[in-house]
Chain A
Amino acid sequence: MVKLEGFPVEVTLRDGRSVLLRPMTAADGGRLLEFFRALPEEDRQFLKEDVTRKEVVDRFVRELDYERVFPLLAEHGGRIVGDATLHRTKYGWSTHVAAIRMVVAREFQRSGLGTALARHLVRHAVNVGVDKMVAEVVDNQIGARRAFAKLGFYEEAVLKGHVRDRQGIRRDLVIMANDVSHLWEAMEALVADYSPTVGA
């Protein structure tokens, strides 16, 4: 069972508004659907699924499993205003890797909410033993790239012309990565119970 240390947590945004960050529960289906439907099409086009469909959101709720997908919601005034998810695989060669996806309501963009969501998700990922995180951003999503960079993400790969926007313009998809395994390499060295000076 995934531990939910540090949640819920209240964060104050740059403009003074206060937002509650908490893991999604099965009771959030309706409000999550409202949130997704209120997103402008421009913001929805980069999502992997058509989240305006009730059956899609119902599936998110039905298959809620924090060890596979950990959804962190931002709530303000009883309304969901942001959704960040940490996706992991339980099988295969990349069980140490997790992907971060995030979407924030228009009126909360450029307020620091995206950074706050990503920061808490990264912290959670480290807590549950993830070694490496990746996030996909489109080359013109400057704010998102900057927010991830602040949290230690770097540009690891660029898929040329991988994304086509509403105007039909093809854009580059940037894979940003954050390898946190070095944190645990330091811990591993600490618990090695070995002194290279002994016997020297």
Chain B
Amino acid sequence: MAKTEIRVGGLGGQGVILSAHIIGKAASIYDDKEATLIQSFGPEARGSACSAQVTISTETIGYPYVKHPDVLVVMSPDAYAQFIPTLKPGGWLLYEEDLITLDERVPEGVKSFCIPATRFAEELGRRLVLNIVMVGFFAGVTGLVSYEAITNAVKSSVPKGTEDLNLRALARGYEYGCELARKSAS
């Protein structure tokens, strides 16, 4: 793998930055790759547009900004509308199934994968962990970070005492992602 550019988008309060941080941490600290993270958010704590750019590479990364991501992860309709035109043709789109409806703006050749991440998080007991479900889904679908690495990254990033639920959220998303990836490959 030379370099993979990822954009994660959603609303403030969905844990967009944390999920991007965990993906980058998994790659750089636990999978021994290179990673960069650029984050941007609105001035409000909740409800404003929010996104992060992550680059993962086996080589040194010279330029951290992502203009046309290989992988787009979106958790809100606004983020989808804003970023879908930037996704590379043939890239991967991962999105929140219950919140986003795809339309003709999806670039040609894009492989799309969806997950009811919010619903899964609610079933697990806390809507708050939707971003971790999404992180697991990302790892399961793309295989860009190992499960061991993403598990370690989640464990070391979430508050003490919340690890169990967060790891269950991760596993839920990961298994769902692996299943979809298997179906897509066959």
Contact = CB atoms under 8 A, between A and B. Distances in A.
A5 B168 contact: yes
B62 interface: no
Given A5-B168, A191-B18, A192-B46, A186 B159 contact: yes
B164 A187 contact: no
Interface string A176-192: 00001001101110111
Contacts of B161: 126, 180, 183
Contact of B162 (A3, A5, A184, A193): A184
Contacts of B44: 194
Interface residues on chain B, size class:
20 to 34
A195 interface: yes
A193 B41 contact: yes
B178 interface: no
Interface stretch (B64-72, B86-94, B125-133): B125-133
B41 A186 contact: no
Interface of B: 10-18, 39, 41, 43-46, 48, 50, 123-126, 128-129, 131, 157-162, 164-166, 168
Interface string A159-200: 000000000000000000000100110111011111100110
A127 interface: yes
Contact of B41 (A123, A126, A183, A198): A198
B91 to A, nearest CB: 24
B131 A191 contact: yes
B128 A199 contact: no
Contacts of A40: none
A183 B129 CA distance: 13
A26 interface: no
Nearest to A195: B41
Interface of A: 1, 3, 5-6, 123, 126-129, 180, 183-184, 186-188, 190-195, 198-199
Given A6-B164, A187-B159, A194 B124 contact: no
Given A3-B168, A192-B13, A198 B43 contact: yes
A192 B168 contact: no
The 9 closest A-B pairs by CB, nearest first: A129-B125, A191-B15, A186-B159, A183-B161, A194-B45, A193-B12, A193-B50, A128-B125, A192-B45
